[in-house]
Amino acid sequence: MSPPKNSAAPTEQRQPFARNEIMPLDLALVAAQRANLSAIERRIASLPGRRSVKKEAQAAWLLKAVSCIDLTTLNGDDTPERVRRLCAKAAQPVRQDLLNAMGFTLPLTTGAVCVYHRYVSTAVDALAHTLIPVAAVSTGFPAGLSPHELKLQEIAASVAAGAREIDIVITREHVLTGNWTALYQEMCEYRQACGEAHVKAILATGDIRTLRNVAKASMVCMMAGADFIKTSTGKEGVNATLPVSLVMLRAIRTFHELTGKHVGYKPAGGVSTAKDALNYLILVNEELGRRWLEPDLFRFGASSLLADIERQLEHFVTGRYSATNRHPMG
Ligand SMILES: O=C[C@H](O)COP(=O)(O)O
């Protein structure tokens, strides 16, 4: 895989964010969604063997990955100070001496900082000198079982506090009971409550049991105006995986072929190594093409991925690995 040109363009030069729109629910299209498990497994098994990305190209791809990270803290013991440290890391994600040694001169930031609603204003203040957007997990994250009206109010509060991206969680029950109309209705209301803020629909794929459900839920959320579809909260038993990603990327491709709309993709939860990141980038590149490898259409939801990427970049520059604790996140 050749290295990306313009690996991590400054935010103001990035592609303008496209918006999806609400379209009518097409239940026949939902019913037509399939997932062939053995074909999916064969496709994923072929990934690491067929493509290896080495040295300079790998460093370029890892810088691209950094620009697509939603740098995340979603813990019960989060504090304003932790969020401020995370924001500082998002604004300078890779040490300047490493960037200098690689001859990398473009500004580099993460794609966003992702926090609970409580810390949106803290993050907005801490990032005020940057163009980095704040993403809020709203709608009763992670289970999504708060009363519907409260979920809509939480979205409105996050937007009012300055969140430019809202990561909503769907009600898994709607998928598990095949109630696609309820899922569509819910998602449409979330989309409307977000206003100008971009909305990412978290499917919680580890909870919805089958890849066919993943394909159908992806399609319903896109019809209901989701700007991104996202795998997981990071709190399910199983979070982002490559097979689930393949199903969601193909749903995005089908939706694009049918509507011309570009919907983004966000694998989240458990993506923690540079090698993982490269596999996801390769899969997205092969399934959707380079257009989807920009921060307006691709993000990693990750709390610890950046530390491993920085470690690998340090190894690329110095030939030595440093301890993970030399790359604190927050
Ligand atoms: O949306 C992001 C996830 O919650 C982050 O999960 P992680 O801590 O496994 O990287």
Q: Confirm whether 29 is domain-assigned.
A: no
Q: Summarize pLDDT for 100-156 with one digit per residue, the tens.
A: 999 999 999 999 999 999 999 999 999 999 999 999 999 999 999 999 999 999 999
Q: What per-residue confidence (pLDDT) applies to 3?
A: 60
Q: Confirm whether 254 is domain-assigned.
A: yes
Q: What per-residue confidence (pLDDT) applies to 288?
A: 98
276 belongs to the catalytic site:
no
Q: Confirm whether 162 is domain-assigned.
A: yes
Q: Which residue's CA lies nearest to atom 4 of ligand 1?
A: 234
Q: Confirm whether 32 is domain-assigned.
A: no
What is the number of structural domains in the chain? Answer: 1
Q: At what angle do helices 211-223 and 180-194 cross, to 10 degrees?
A: 50
Strand 134-137 versus strand 228-230 pairing type: unpaired
Q: Confirm whether 36 is domain-assigned.
A: no
Q: Which atom of ligand 1 is nearest to the CA of 304?
A: 10
Q: What per-residue confidence (pLDDT) applies to 327?
A: 65
Residue 248: pLDDT above 90?
A: yes
Q: Which residue's CA lies nearest to atom 1 of ligand 1?
A: 301
235 belongs to the catalytic site:
no
CATH of the domain at 173: 3.20.20.70
Q: What per-residue confidence (pLDDT) applies to 20?
A: 97
Helix (H, G, I), strand (E, B) or coil at 31: helix
Helix (H, G, I), strand (E, B) or coil at 280: helix
Give the Å distance between the CA of 238 and the centre of ligand 1: 12
Q: Confirm whether 10 is domain-assigned.
A: no
Domain that holds residue 301: 51-319
Q: Confirm whether 175 is domain-assigned.
A: yes
The average pLDDT across 263-278 equals 97
Q: Could you tell me which residues are beta bridge partners of residue 310?
A: none
Q: What per-residue confidence (pLDDT) applies to 13?
A: 47
167 belongs to the catalytic site:
yes
Please report, as a single letter, which amino acid is at residue 225: G
Q: Confirm whether 118 is domain-assigned.
A: yes
Q: Which residues are near ligand 1 (CB < 6 Å)?
A: 72, 74, 114, 233-234, 268-270, 272, 301-304
Residue 10: pLDDT above 80?
A: no
Question: Shortest CA distance to 264 belongs to which of 18, 22, 21?
Answer: 18
CB-based contacts of 190: which residues, under 8 Å, 6+ apart? 139, 151, 152, 155, 166, 168, 199, 201
